[in-house]
Amino acid sequence: MIIFVDMDEVIADAYQAHIDIYNQEFNTQITVEECYGKEFWLVVPAAHQQSIKDHTRRDGFFQDLKLIEGSQQVLEELSKKHEVYIASAAMEFPQSLREKSDWLDEFFPFIPWQNRILCGNKHVLKGDVLIDNRSKNLEPFDGRSIMFTSPHNTNVNTFERANSWKDIADKLL
């Protein structure tokens, strides 16, 4: 099987990073539970929304992301049995390319650089499975689309869902 795996909010916790940065900079205590069903920038006052969108343009944002629990172990097992590719729409934030590559080197050294697709539009992916947190990436995919739960997509019910990497292991291992 050829399996494509998104990075942000699937193996790297970008959503929580936005919350943490915002809480620190604006001295607030927003929790992830307050964000269910919404993009994080829609949770904050309108005057602060652009600052959220600018997080991803900061040097170090992608390099400092925390792992999504269980992602390393399950992806390592999957990579022993299948062709696993990391597919990230990194071109949206061109400065992220180096940071994402370095992050993958650190946390997923068993996925070689040849299996890393840092692209623009994911509609070009052709394979068996796509694990992603965004409908816009899952909709055009011709294979099995698995939506990985992230706070913003909790109300989406049009795709097979995985709430954790244990769910992914149960589905694919």
Catalytic residues: 6, 8
| Contact in structure between 51 and 25 (CB atoms under 8 Å) | yes
Q: Round to whole Å and give the CA distance between 18 and 48.
A: 12
Element housing 117 (H / E): strand 116-118
30: exposed, middle or buried (C-beta count within 10 Å: 0-12, 13-18, 19+)?
middle
DSSP symbols for 45-63: -GGGHHHHHHGGGSTTTTT
